[in-house]
Amino acid sequence: MYGIINLCLKPLSRTEGSIFRLLSGHNLSSHRVIGYLNIVAAAVLPAIAALPAGRVQAQEYAESLLQPAALDYAGTFSLRHIEPTLTGEGVTIAAVCRSATYVAGWPQDDYRLNVEHNCLGEGDINFTDGLAVAGGISFHSTAIGGILVGNDPDGWHPEIGNFYYEGAAPQAKADVYEFWRFVGSHILEAKPFEADILTMSAGVVFEDWWTRGLEHLAEKNGLIVFAGAGNGSNVSDPVLYPAAGANVIGVGVVASLQSDLLVDTLERFTLPSAEQSSAGPTADQRCKPDIVAPGNCLVPSADSTTGYEVSGDWTSFATPVVAGTTALLVQKAESDPLLTAAVSPQGGNCVIKAILMNSAAKLPYWHKGKPGKDDDHEAVLDYLQGAGMLDAPAAYDQLAAGRQEPGNIRLAGWDNNTIDKEPGREHVYVVDIASPQDQLLTATLVWNRHFADEYPFDAIAEADSDLTLEVWAVDPDEAQKDYLLDYSDSAGDNVEHIHCPLDAQFYRYEIVVTFSDVSGDTVKYPSERYALAWRTGPDETAEDILWYDLDLDGDIDRDDVIACFNKIVQSEPPAGGHAPGDINMDGKIDIDDLKILMAHLPQQDIR
């Protein structure tokens, strides 16, 4: 046995012992160890021998000229380059921030942004509490403010050098609220406030009256509400409320690259991890988060007028990345009469949610529901990625494609509409695709849940609807050939999402919005407002390096092969969604995945 192992691993002097210890250290029987090694020896080890030992020296970068680089990764800076007038001007963001300390349950008002910092001093930032004495400064709030509306042309950091700092929407108005004061005044007492977007990087494990009240605000006013999903199993978090709420857009975080260079970790990102970003499903089996974004940002310091710090991979900071980028979409919609239905008080929050989710970039290992090769028609989103990662230019294109009502539609677009609660009622959107070969159709349906307008804001179950989303392949000449290509029909979600390959034999498709079941009080609540977004395009994840970069260091090399060994011998199925290493997406990590990994190693590294 040992002779075989030594022979097989002879070229791998650096890792020769570690692989065997790896295999034999997982309480595997000797025949399993031998079996794995013999398969690997025959299949892949001749190629491993010549691979580089790993990242000898990280790539050297020139000075980063624009921060926070997470906004570049999400495409926000690209969008603003395409449309320079998009700065957030005219948009109001309500930033609800928690105090850092409490005495006898009462906030001590140390929730404020450091507006003395160069990054924030010139911004349109307003504190709404009316306190005679200024409250204390919070790093958490200051960081969020910088990501949202920061602006500093003379930024500097010792590990990066000089840079221009600019938040996602530097000319937006930021109204900053202390959390409990906001809850008391604007949820419990229902005092009106002006905001297009509300963002909150805080949450609780269980639904509460105030989380339902926030959902009521979204439904009643079309308010676009964002909240951080929570920071994963490292802090024992499920998806937190209000992010877990049906009418709130819950935001998860993608992890930054593992590197010794700060510039690397700020500019390059990988996949969401359950250890850092809370994963679904919720306790009542709904899919969350809704979307993910990078969160590790350079942010203004709370105790300096010029210094900058690193925020870390937390959903608290991914949330303002999405909220600030959405301010650009709101600005566009409010300035164009053809797009104003996207920000209407009647269902505008649903439209923006549908647009963000439908345009989100699917990262490697995205899959609806539990692991397996088959699509999941009842679990509408990936439990870690949601609908995918924020893609600002794609979201803008989705919005700009315009509103289109049932009937003939273009290749991309959206609708804000109502459907009567009648059995068999359906809205049909017909799209012709000249070249369906290797194309995907993505469609997202969103509607609100309903809540009472007074404390304790109980859910109104008899007002709620159960919609379903279908895609049919249609033959205009032979109706008997028509068939249901895909559908999404969740029992508990108020989102349906389809991401499916088209049939090259059909050029016509129908997107159908209908009821899975008509129930409740249809006399008092005779219709349901919904938003629909759709688009077609190629699969853009097929050759993404993140399929194969299992150690998340930015390279595909021998270390990734070792990482794959490790995952194979763990012999544990992915806990939620697909785990990195399950390259063929069959619900397990095995020798077949290792072979695929080896086939994608750089050719120059295989001797």
Give me the CATH number covering residue 516: 2.60.120.380
Query: Shortest CA distance to 472 belongs to which of 430, 436, 532, 409?
Result: 430
pLDDT at 331 over 90: yes
242, two tokens: 């209000």
Model confidence band, residue 5 (pLDDT cutoffs 50, 70, 90): very low
Rounded to whole angstroms, what are the CA distances from 195 to 36, 325, 397, 476, 607? 59, 15, 24, 47, 60
Domain count, the chain: 3
Q: What is the pLDDT of residue 104?
A: 85
Q: What is the pLDDT of residue 30?
A: 45
One domain for residues 479 and 586:
no
Average pLDDT, the chain: 87
**Cα(224)–Cα(323) distance, integer angstroms:** 9
Q: What is the pLDDT of residue 585?
A: 84
The neighbour count for residue 491, using CB atoms within 10 Å, is 12
387 domain-assigned: no
Q: What is the pLDDT of residue 274?
A: 87
Q: What's the burial of 208, exposed, middle or buried (CB within 10 Å: 0-12/13-18/19+)?
A: middle
One domain for residues 169 and 281:
yes
Model confidence band, residue 233 (pLDDT cutoffs 50, 70, 90): confident
**274-282 mean pLDDT:** 90
26 domain-assigned: yes
The neighbour count for residue 538, using CB atoms within 10 Å, is 10
373 domain-assigned: no
Model confidence band, residue 578 (pLDDT cutoffs 50, 70, 90): low
pLDDT at 604 over 50: no
Q: Residue 177 in contact with residue 128, Cβ under 8 Å?
A: yes
Q: What's the burial of 205, exposed, middle or buried (CB within 10 Å: 0-12/13-18/19+)?
A: middle
One domain for residues 335 and 450:
no
Q: What is the pLDDT of residue 234?
A: 64
For residue range 404-444, list pLDDT tens digits in order.
Answer: 999 999 999 999 999 999 989 999 999 999 999 999 999 99
**274-283 mean pLDDT:** 90
Q: What is the pLDDT of residue 132?
A: 52
Secondary structure string (H, E, C) spanning 162-189: EEEEECCCCCCEEEEEEHHHHHHHHHHC
**298-305 mean pLDDT:** 97
Q: What is the pLDDT of residue 56?
A: 30
**Choice between 602 and 303, residue whose per-residue pLDDT is larger:** 303
466, two tokens: 């159960």
Which residues are CB-contacts of 377 (< 8 A; sequence separation ≥ 6)? Answer: 486, 487, 488, 489
**562-581 mean pLDDT:** 73
Q: What is the pLDDT of residue 373?
A: 63
Q: What is the pLDDT of residue 17?
A: 40
pLDDT at 50 over 70: no
One domain for residues 510 and 573:
no
Q: Look-up: residue for tokens 């996602």?
A: 168
**60-75 mean pLDDT:** 77
One domain for residues 346 and 469:
no
pLDDT at 23 over 50: no
Q: Look-up: residue for tokens 């809850």?
A: 183
pLDDT at 528 over 90: yes
One domain for residues 154 and 85:
yes
Q: Residue 209 in contact with residue 472, Cβ under 8 Å?
A: no
Model confidence band, residue 28 (pLDDT cutoffs 50, 70, 90): very low
Model confidence band, residue 290 (pLDDT cutoffs 50, 70, 90): very high
Model confidence band, residue 580 (pLDDT cutoffs 50, 70, 90): confident
Lowest pLDDT segment from 123-132, 370-379, 468-477: 370-379
One domain for residues 333 and 280:
yes
444 domain-assigned: yes
Q: How far is CA 221 from the centre of its chain?
A: 24
**Choice between 23 and 183, residue whose per-residue pLDDT is larger:** 183
The neighbour count for residue 357, using CB atoms within 10 Å, is 26
Q: What is the pLDDT of residue 577?
A: 54
365 domain-assigned: no
Q: What is the pLDDT of residue 593?
A: 87
**1-28 mean pLDDT:** 37
Q: Which of 359, 388, 413 is the last residue of a domain?
A: 359
Model confidence band, residue 189 (pLDDT cutoffs 50, 70, 90): very high
**Cα(435)–Cα(38) distance, integer angstroms:** 46
DSSP state of 204: B
420 domain-assigned: yes
Q: Which of 359, 375, 390 is the last residue of a domain?
A: 359
For residue range 382-391, list pLDDT tens digits in order.
Answer: 999 999 999 9
pLDDT at 299 over 90: yes
- CA angle at 101 for the pair 140 and 243, rounded to the nearest 5°: 50
One domain for residues 343 and 199:
yes
252 domain-assigned: yes
Model confidence band, residue 374 (pLDDT cutoffs 50, 70, 90): low
Q: Please state, for a pLDDT cut of 70, what percent of the chain lies above it.
A: 85
384 domain-assigned: no
Cα dihedral 201, 344, 461, 384, rounded to 10, equals: -40
Q: Residue 93 in contact with residue 176, Cβ under 8 Å?
A: no
One domain for residues 154 and 34:
no
Q: Which of 327, 343, 359 is the last residue of a domain?
A: 359
Give me the CATH number covering residue 130: 3.40.50.200
One domain for residues 50 and 155:
no
Q: What is the pLDDT of residue 567?
A: 85
Q: Residue 225 in contact with residue 249, Cβ under 8 Å?
A: yes
Instruction: Give residue 498's domain range.
Output: 402-537
DSSP state of 531: E
Highest mean pLDDT: which of 64-73, 106-115, 318-327? 318-327
One domain for residues 425 and 329:
no
Q: What is the pLDDT of residue 48?
A: 44
One domain for residues 210 and 315:
yes
Lowest pLDDT segment from 195-209, 319-333, 546-560: 546-560
Q: What is the DSSP string of 309-370?
A: EE--S-HHHHHHHHHHHHHHHHHHHHH-TTTGGGG-TTTHHHHHHHHHHHHPBPPTT--SSS
39, two tokens: 């398969």
**590-597 mean pLDDT:** 88
Q: What is the pLDDT of residue 371?
A: 64
